[in-house]
């Protein structure tokens, strides 16, 4: 038999399904076309072969549409549809464009074949799902909550399944749902109106300030230059120039000292050379001792001795000399004595022997010269020492500069200061359109304007941001005065209350099923009516034992699923319900009224359930509080069948009394009940379902509600997850929800008494942290405020066998429990430790003693008194790179001081201490010092109450705003302090979709997969995930963002020239994952040059490009990161805008290369920037003869002559040349000169009418056609 399996192409398959659709008994819906797994796989193969083709068009296709319907039937769950489509078609999920393509095919197919049109905000997904009736995942809910419910009600009433009745029921559902939607729309509209009025009220109250703000903002100029200049404080230039002057003077001083030192070093070297020559000439050996010896010799005495010796030696030479020795013996002996004296004078010097042999006076002259040289050296050394000391002292007087190479460091520092000043002045010159003083004046003006704006904004009192108020200023024209606004506001709030009160009892059966099924039933018309009717017929057949479903007009998979459900649970559900009904009729004919807690209206009600009665008789319910008859009402009666009637349920409010007496009179029968209520020292307990627990013996495992007098204390306090004041007669009470998942017992403290409640289990000894400071620890130990906490333990023996020991501050105290005032509940004993051992501060070890055994011990740190308050109940995750500060307020009734703190700012005002901290930290560490009778120091760590999140139960918790790649979405785990009630919801972006969490073991868990289709449909790069708590004191908090598209950040771009080739190295960080990535370089300096594209290898975040300089000339380029998407509707690649995602303007070429090109080739004037509008120059102008020029140190101004052509085509120079300008090597200025002024410093203007560039006063008749450009667009000329 011919089937879709035999179709070889998509076109053939479409023809097959068209014939099948024409033959179908049920028209208008695709869900009746049945497919098996093999057929689905086959058509998936046909589709996947086509969609990868570039020629694939968004034309109608039954095959594609039926495939999509079956994807929804088989796989849709909790918002996840498209991921399964991609998987089955074996296509990468990053091809987002394919969703639109397939979705449009489906809608076109519906239109062509005149199928039922389903509409929803999810344009594609909901219509696809609705054409499949109910997705398989939700069928059991549909059977149990819709079909079984209707069937059971019909059966109880003895009615058969009737199509007209079913149509009527479904019609009522639709009507009720429309009313609900209308009500929600009205409430939403009134909410918007209320907000408008609240804004209008604030506009009226702040109008003068807002008007002044507008006038000031019109005068404010915005540009990168002004922004950069304003970030530098006022007076910075004067301070920097003073610093430059100081550095210059100090540098000159040091350079002078340095020069003296170098000169002296050179002289010393020259002196040392001369000394060395003489030393070698006169001495055999010469050292430091020799120097002192030479300096200490009197060479005048040496000369006299030498002359005396030489004169006498002549007398005593030869034979005659011998005779003289005899006759002149005394003189001879004197001569020898002189020789000995001479030798003795040189005894510490190794002077050469020749000196003593010859006694040549030239030796003495050389020695005298040496002595002079050595004396001079001594003087030089002393002077050098003084210079070095002066240099050291001068260097030491300069802060932040080491003394190793002070001159070099000073020169470097001075260069930095010069560059900072030059950059600042250049920005001022740009701001002043080429004139420095004008720039200074304009900066002062802009700074003053912004200060005035800031001052006015601080005076505006409003819940709304100033931007919102300014945006809504026209509301002042809409309303006449603030009184009118307040009257309108009152009316709106009254309307809202009426609508909300009216809709309190609205119920909607369609809420039992998922959204797509609701769309099918609401918009499916007769097909939906028939579908529900056939479902009821099938359950009727199954009840009657008929499993032959051939006459049931439902798809086979629906019939099979219902049969499976019937055998697995449906039959049992129906049987149990019947037994319950029989039990009600036979054993408990009258139902006891129930007392319930209404947490919405914050009151307690009594509900009188439906009562079965035999005849149409009077039924009167009476409510007595104590002995006071408060309510007596006649109940409405409804006929069930010919023999049976029933009363309709009724609900009444009750007040706070000790006892409630209920009386139900049915004909002559009276039924009475007595229920305990509440009094001053009692409480009322309610189940999680909010039904009264009349006699609470043991606590439930999960949790319960407690109604108690306002102000009661619950110990431990972290078990309290919800707490609200009640209303009306109950206004002096409050209801509290207690979480018992991780607690076995708790204590209620009311009016000085304590009441202990526990589960039916054995409990171990443990402290009840009623006065424990949440989130505070002292070196890892729990911290109590003011006194020791309570102790709970199971007493297995006589209490007299137990005792407590306290070890603190070097003291030990023991106390037997015999005779003490002890609170007990069964086997649990509650001990107030502070009553036994008071005034214990600091660290204390508490031990529980049973007979001779220590059965429990724990450490506690007690603070004398400390009040802790954060300025926020919960701090949001911080944005990376942005500092987010919080304030902790500390106070105590005792003198207190905070010491040893880090990373925080502490300020005291009277008895209050303000601690400013960075919320990115986990905790605040302090050393507290109390001044009592003695000084007490206590280390304290306080956890910062903040939100943590992670995407995997094994991951580390994060407290910064992060990103989740959309392909990785799963569970989102949230952790908050235990003291905060975890009831919350997660909102995708601007209320696109909201999901509720599961709470397990203190963690709030959201299934992000439920958002997957909304994320894709929203089609935004980054989509916020915001958690909103039921606690109104906590504003909605941004947790993280879902990333749908790939982007890059931290791009580094480096280029160099090597062997005639341009080498470009680009690195970046990837945000998200992609394939088919490319880099494009768009030349901006030469518009006629084409774009160059380079492929990026998978798995890398860097690329190296090597190309000939001719292909990559110096200039400005737009660097674009992109994905080469074969699914794109438009394959033409166009130059992206400057602010387009993944784009960055870069400059190829270094400063010397580019300026050389500018000076050599000149600049063509292309256009003029007039308030953001680009005015093309309709006459040829260019700048040539360009030279470097500066008016202050560090300035790199250029001058050149502007040329054009006259009417005869001759080159002419414009008047008032040369012009001056900045050509800045910055992408934002590369093709646009920030100013162009003539030799008289007048700015050039352009006349659009006359097409002339000029700088003198002219063209007055052209009026608005004359513009003073904000910038001049240029290109480097190519010669």
Tokens of 1159: 């000076």
Residues contacting 224, CB < 8 A, separation 6+: 1228
Pairing verdict, β 842-850 and 594-598: unpaired
Residues above pLDDT 70, as percent of the chain: 94
Looking up tokens 């080491």 gives: 402
Asked whether residue 1023 carries a pLDDT value surpassing 70, the answer given is: yes
3-state SS assignment for residue 279 = helix
Q: Which of 153-157, 1132-1136, 1176-1180 has the lowest mean pLDDT?
A: 153-157
- Note whether 1201 and 1219 are within 8 A (CB): yes
Find out whether 1189 and 1196 touch, Cβ atoms under 8 Å. no
Please give the Cα distance from 161 to 688 (Å, whole number).
Answer: 37
497 vs 640, residue with greater confidence = 497
pLDDT in tens, 551-598: 888 999 999 999 999 999 888 888 877 776 655 444 446 788 989 998
C-alpha span between 838 and 1173 (Å, rounded): 79
Distance CA 77, CA 1013 (A): 11
Out of 183-197, 353-367, 539-553, 1122-1136, least confident range: 1122-1136
Q: Is 608 left (phi over 0), alpha (psi -120 to 50) or beta?
A: beta
- Tokens describing residue 987: 């909102």
What phi, psi does 1200 have (nearest 5°)? -170, 165
**What are the pLDDT digits (tens) for 1183-1193?**
999 999 999 88
Percentage of residues in the chain having pLDDT higher than 90: 35
What is the average pLDDT score of the chain?
Answer: 86
The alpha carbons of the chain give a radius of gyration, in whole angstroms, of 49
Contact 503, 114 (CB under 8 A): no
Query: What pLDDT was estimated at residue 770?
Result: 67
Tell me which DSSP letter residue 879 carries: P
Give the β-pairing of 781-785 and 853-863: parallel
* CATH domain 1047-1149 topology: Immunoglobulin-like (2.60.40)
Q: In the prediction, which pLDDT does 74 show? A: 94
- Which pLDDT score, from 0 to 100, does residue 387 have? 84
Q: Is the pLDDT confidence value at 109 over 60? A: yes
pLDDT in tens, 235-283: 899 999 999 998 888 888 888 888 888 888 898 899 989 989 888 888 8
* pLDDT for the residue 1068: 95
1045 Cβ partners below 8 Å, 6+ apart?
A: 96, 1021, 1072, 1141
Q: Which of 316, 314, 335, 313 is nearest to 324 (CA)?
A: 316
Query: Tens digit of pLDDT for each residue in 331-348?
Result: 878 888 888 888 888 888
At the second CATH level, the architecture of 765-863 is Sandwich (2.60)
Answer whether residue 438 shows pLDDT above 50: yes
Q: Do domains 765-863 and 867-943 have the same CATH topology?
A: yes
860-878 b/e (C-beta count within 10 Å ≥ 16 → b): bbbbbebebebeeebbbbb
Q: What pLDDT is recorded for position 1279? A: 64
Which pTM does this prediction carry? 0.61
N-terminal to C-terminal alpha carbon distance within the chain? 78
Mean pLDDT of 732-748: 86
pLDDT at residue 530, rounded to an integer: 92
Per-domain residue ranges of the chain: 4-132, 141-182+505-585, 248-399, 765-863, 867-943, 948-1028, 1047-1149, 1154-1276
Kindly compute the dihedral angle of the four CA atoms of residues 196, 198, 200, 202, in this order, to the nearest 10 degrees.
-150
Mean pLDDT along residues 11-36: 88
pLDDT per residue over 174-210, tens digit each?
Answer: 888 888 788 888 888 998 899 999 999 999 999 999 9
Q: What is the mean pLDDT of residues 791-820?
A: 83
Query: What is d(CA 224, CA 430) in angstroms, rounded to the nearest whole number?
Result: 11
490 pLDDT band, cuts 50/70/90, is: very high
Among the listed ranges 559-573, 745-759, 1214-1228, 1240-1254, which one has the minimum average pLDDT value? 745-759
Q: Read off the pLDDT of each residue in 1110-1124 and give the average, rounded to a whole number.
A: 90
Instruction: Please give the average per-residue pLDDT across 1199-1214, as a whole number.
Output: 93
Domain 867-943 is found in CATH 3.30.360: no
Q: What is the pLDDT of residues 372-422, one digit of tens each?
A: 888 898 888 888 888 888 877 777 766 555 555 778 888 889 999 999 999
Of the candidates 1114, 1121, 1062, the one whose C-alpha atom is nearest the C-alpha of residue 1085 is 1114
Quick one: pLDDT at residue 108?
Answer: 93
What is the four-CA torsion angle of 196, 202, 203, 207, rounded to 10 degrees?
170
Cα separations (Å) of 1074 from 53, 95, 748, 1127, 1234? 20, 10, 58, 14, 39
């Amino acid at each position: 038999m011919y089937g879709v399996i035999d179709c070889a192409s998509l076109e053939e398959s479409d023809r097959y399904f068209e014939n099948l659709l024409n033959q179908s008994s049920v028209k208008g819906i695709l869900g009746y076309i049945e497919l098996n797994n093999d057929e689905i796989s086959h058509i998936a193969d046909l589709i996947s072969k086509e969609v990868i083709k570039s020629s694939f068009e968004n034309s109608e296709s039954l095959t594609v549409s039926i495939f999509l319907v079956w994807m929804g039937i088989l796989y849709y769950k909790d918002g996840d549809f498209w991921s399964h489509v991609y998987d089955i078609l074996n296509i990468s999920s990053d091809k987002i464009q394919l969703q639109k393509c397939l979705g449009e095919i489906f809608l076109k197919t519906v239109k062509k074949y005149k199928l039922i049109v389903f509409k929803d905000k999810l344009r594609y997904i909901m219509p696809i799902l609705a054409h499949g009736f109910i997705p398989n995942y939700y069928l059991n809910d549909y059977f149990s909550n819709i079909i079984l419910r209707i069937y059971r009600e019909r059966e109880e009433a003895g009615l058969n399944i009737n199509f007209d009745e079913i149509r009527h029921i479904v019609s009522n559902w639709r009507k009720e749902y429309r009313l609900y939607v209308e009500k929600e729309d009205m409430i939403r509209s009134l909410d918007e109106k209320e907000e408008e009025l609240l804004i209008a009220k604030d506009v009226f109250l702040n109008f003068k300030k807002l008007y002044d703000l507008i006038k000031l903002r019109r005068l404010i100029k915005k540009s990168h230059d002004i922004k950069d200049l304003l970030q530098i404080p006022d007076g910075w230039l004067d301070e920097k120039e003073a610093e430059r002057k100081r550095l210059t003077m100090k540098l000159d001083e040091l350079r002078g000292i340095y020069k003296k030192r170098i000169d002296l070093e050179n002289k010393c070297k020259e002196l040392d050379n001369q000394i060395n020559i003489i030393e070698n000439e006169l001495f055999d050996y010469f050292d430091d001792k020799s120097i002192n010896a030479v300096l200490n010799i009197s060479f005048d005495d040496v000369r006299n001795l030498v002359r005396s010796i030489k004169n006498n030696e002549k007398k005593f030479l030869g034979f005659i000399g011998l005779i003289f020795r005899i006759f002149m013996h005394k003189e001879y002996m004197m001569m020898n004595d002189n020789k000995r004296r001479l030798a003795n004078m040189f005894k510490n010097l190794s002077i050469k022997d020749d000196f003593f042999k010859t006694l040549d006076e030239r030796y003495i002259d050389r020695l005298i010269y040496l002595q002079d040289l050595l004396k001079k050296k001594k003087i030089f050394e002393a002077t050098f020492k003084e210079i070095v000391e002066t240099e050291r002292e001068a260097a030491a007087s300069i802060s932040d500069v080491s003394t190793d190479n002070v001159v070099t460091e000073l020169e470097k520092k001075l260069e930095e200061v010069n560059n900072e000043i030059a950059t600042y002045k250049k920005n001022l010159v740009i701001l002043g359109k080429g004139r420095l003083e004008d720039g200074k004046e304009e900066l002062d003006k802009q700074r003053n304007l912004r200060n005035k704006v800031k001052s006015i904004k601080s005076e505006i009192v409003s819940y709304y941001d100033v931007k919102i108020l300014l945006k809504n200023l026209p509301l002042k024209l809409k309303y006449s005065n603030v009184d009118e606004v307040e009257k309108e506001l009152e009316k709106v709030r009254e309307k809202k209350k009426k609508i909300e009160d009216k809709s309190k009892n609205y119920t909607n059966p369609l809420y039992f099923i998922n959204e797509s099924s609701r769309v099918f039933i609401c918009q499916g018309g007769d097909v939906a009516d028939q579908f529900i009717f056939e479902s009821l017929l099938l359950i009727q057949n199954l009840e009657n034992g008929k499993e032959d479903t051939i006459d049931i007009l439902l798809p086979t998979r629906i019939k099979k699923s219902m049969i499976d459900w019937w055998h697995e649970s449906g039959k049992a559900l129906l049987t149990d319900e019947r037994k319950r009904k029989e039990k009600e009729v036979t054993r408990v004919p009258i139902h006891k009224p129930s007392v319930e807690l209404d947490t919405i209206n914050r009151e307690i009600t009594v509900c009188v359930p439906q009562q079965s009665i035999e005849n149409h008789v009077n039924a009167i319910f009476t409510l007595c509080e104590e002995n006071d008859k408060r309510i007596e009402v006649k109940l409405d009666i409804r006929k069930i069948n010919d023999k049976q009637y029933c009363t309709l349920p009724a609900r009444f409010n009750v007040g706070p009394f000790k006892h409630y007496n209920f009386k139900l009179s049915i004909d002559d029968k009276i039924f009475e009940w007595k229920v305990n209520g509440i009094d001053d020292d009692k409480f009322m307990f309610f189940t999680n379902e909010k039904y009264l627990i009349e006699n609470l013996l043991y606590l439930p495992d999960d949790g319960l509600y407690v109604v108690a007098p306002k102000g009661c204390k619950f110990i431990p306090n972290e078990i309290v997850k919800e707490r609200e004041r009640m209303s009306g007669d109950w206004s002096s009470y409050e209801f509290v929800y207690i979480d018992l998942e991780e607690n076995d017992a708790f204590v209620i403290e009311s009016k000085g008494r304590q009441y202990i409640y526990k589960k039916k289990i054995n409990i171990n000894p443990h402290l009840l942290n009623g006065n424990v400071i949440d989130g505070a620890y002292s070196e890892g130990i729990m911290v109590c405020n003011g006194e020791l906490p309570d102790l709970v333990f199971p007493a297995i023996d006589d209490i007299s066998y137990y005792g407590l020991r306290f070890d603190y501050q070097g003291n030990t105290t023991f106390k037997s429990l015999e005779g003490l005032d002890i609170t007990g509940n069964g086997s649990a004993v509650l001990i107030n430790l502070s009553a036994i051992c008071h005034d214990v501060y600091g660290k204390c070890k508490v031990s529980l003693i049973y007979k001779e055994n220590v059965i429990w011990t724990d450490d506690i740190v007690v603070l004398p008194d400390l009040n802790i308050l954060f300025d926020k109940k919960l701090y949001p995750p911080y944005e990376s790179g942005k500092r987010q500060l919080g304030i902790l307020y500390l106070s105590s009734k005792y003198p207190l001081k905070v010491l040893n703190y880090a990373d925080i700012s502490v300020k005291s005002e009277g008895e209050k201490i303000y601690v400013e901290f960075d919320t990115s930290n986990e905790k605040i560490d302090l050393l507290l010092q109390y001044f009592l009778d003695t000084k007490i120091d206590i280390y304290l760590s306080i956890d910062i109450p903040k939100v943590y999140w992670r995407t995997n139960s094994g991951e580390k918790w994060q407290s910064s705003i992060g990103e989740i790649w959309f392909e990785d979405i799963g569970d989102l785990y949230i952790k908050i302090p235990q003291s905060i009630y975890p009831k919350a919801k997660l909102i995708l972006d601007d209320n696109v979709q909201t999901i509720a969490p599961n709470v397990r073991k203190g963690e709030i868990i959201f299934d992000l997969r439920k958002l997957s289709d909304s994320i894709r449909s929203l089609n935004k790069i980054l989509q916020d995930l915001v958690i909103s708590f039921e606690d109104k004191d906590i504003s909605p908090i941004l947790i993280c963002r879902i990333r749908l598209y790939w982007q890059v950040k931290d791009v580094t771009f480096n280029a160099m020239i090597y062997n005639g080739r341009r080498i470009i190295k680009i690195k970046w960080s990837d945000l998200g994952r992609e394939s088919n990535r490319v880099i494009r370089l768009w030349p901006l300096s030469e518009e006629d040059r084409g774009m160059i594209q380079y492929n990026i290898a998978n798995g890398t975040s860097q690329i190296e490009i090597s190309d000939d300089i001719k292909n990559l000339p110096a200039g400005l380029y737009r660097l674009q990161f992109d994905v080469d998407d074969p699914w794109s509707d438009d394959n033409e690649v166009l130059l992206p805008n400057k602010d387009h995602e993944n784009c960055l303007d870069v400059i190829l070429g270094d400063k010397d290369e580019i300026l050389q090109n500018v000076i050599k080739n000149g600049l063509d004037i292309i256009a003029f920037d007039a308030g953001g509008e680009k005015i093309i120059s309709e006459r040829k102008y260019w700048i040539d003869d360009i030279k470097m020029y500066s008016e202050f140190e560090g300035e790199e101004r250029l001058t050149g002559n502007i040329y054009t052509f006259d009417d005869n085509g001759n080159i002419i120079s414009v008047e008032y040349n040369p012009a001056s300008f900045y050509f800045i090597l910055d992408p934002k200025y590369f093709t646009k000169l920030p100013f162009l002024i003539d030799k008289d410093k007048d700015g050039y203007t352009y006349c659009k009418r006359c097409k002339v560039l000029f700088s003198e006063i002219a063209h007055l008749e052209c009026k608005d056609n004359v513009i003073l450009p904000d910038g001049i667009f240029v290109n480097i000329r190519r010669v």
